[in-house]
Amino acid sequence: MTHDAPFGTRLRRAMDERGPLCVGIDPHASLLAAWGLDDSVTGLERFSRTVVEALADRVAVLKPQSAFYERFGSRGVAVLERTVADARAAGALVVTDAKRGDIGSTMAAYAESFLHRDAPLFSDALTVSPYLGYGALRPAFDTAREHGAGLFVLALTSNPEGAEVQGARRADGRTVAAGVLDDLAAENRGADGLGSFGAVVGATLAGLADAPLDFGGPLLAPGIGAQGATPADLPALFGPAVRRVVPNVSRGVLRHGPAPAALRGAAERYAEEIGRAVTGS
């Protein structure tokens, strides 16, 4: 698989070869402590290196949460740079979870930070927020297309506060979230196979039957494990779109560290459960 292929093509290949599991890298202070690490840049780096070395050669996607690196300032961002680069070098696709969303030249700068191939933080995909208006994300779509990267746009998030915006009705009668998903269908139109522009849809939600999930791109589904959703829930929740779902597990895997073998074992168990649920075998 060439790195010049679009993100959607590379993601489909990784999901078919390794299974669709995405493991979040969320080095929050309590997890560092549980691993016996200091809440410091040194602890951050040891945590991140351990996860990458244990999992990057076997899971489809790793998803570092940028906030847990940014809180340490420039030294923490430097650890994020190394984490992203090392994970990609070992064969995992990296989705940086930064949830950027802004307007004009600022959005363009965010896009260049994460989606330009020459950027130190270049990632295979980036999470973005459309709630300054979907059109404000245009610089991110343009930069991603130019550099073979992808986006995951927040659509139906699992936090209860999200419903007041995402469930609001537009003038045309659609919910805001449905409008986002319909707009993503336009972005993915003409893609050869899986599109590069996905949505974030929580696996802990209910009643997705009316959501327009057939937009051609991947569905990043947080909430498996510690938040209460299970792999067995995926087919009923996502229906025919389940083959495009990238289930995200963070604490459910990371709590088994710091032993690399234990991290690998937890990831393998989730991958097997997800595989059985998705394929029905």
Pairing of strands 93-100, 61-64: parallel
Pairing of strands 245-249, 125-128: unpaired
CA distance 9 to 26: 26
Give residue 216's identity as a one-letter amino acid code. G
The catalytic residue among 13, 18, 49, 99 is 99
DSSP character at residue 5:
S
Give residue 22's identity as a one-letter amino acid code. C
The separation between the first and the last C-alpha atoms of the chain, rounded to the nearest angstrom, is 27
Give residue 273's identity as a one-letter amino acid code. E
Is 63 an active-site residue?
no
CB contact at 8 A, 234 and 271: no
Q: Which residues are catalytic?
A: 99
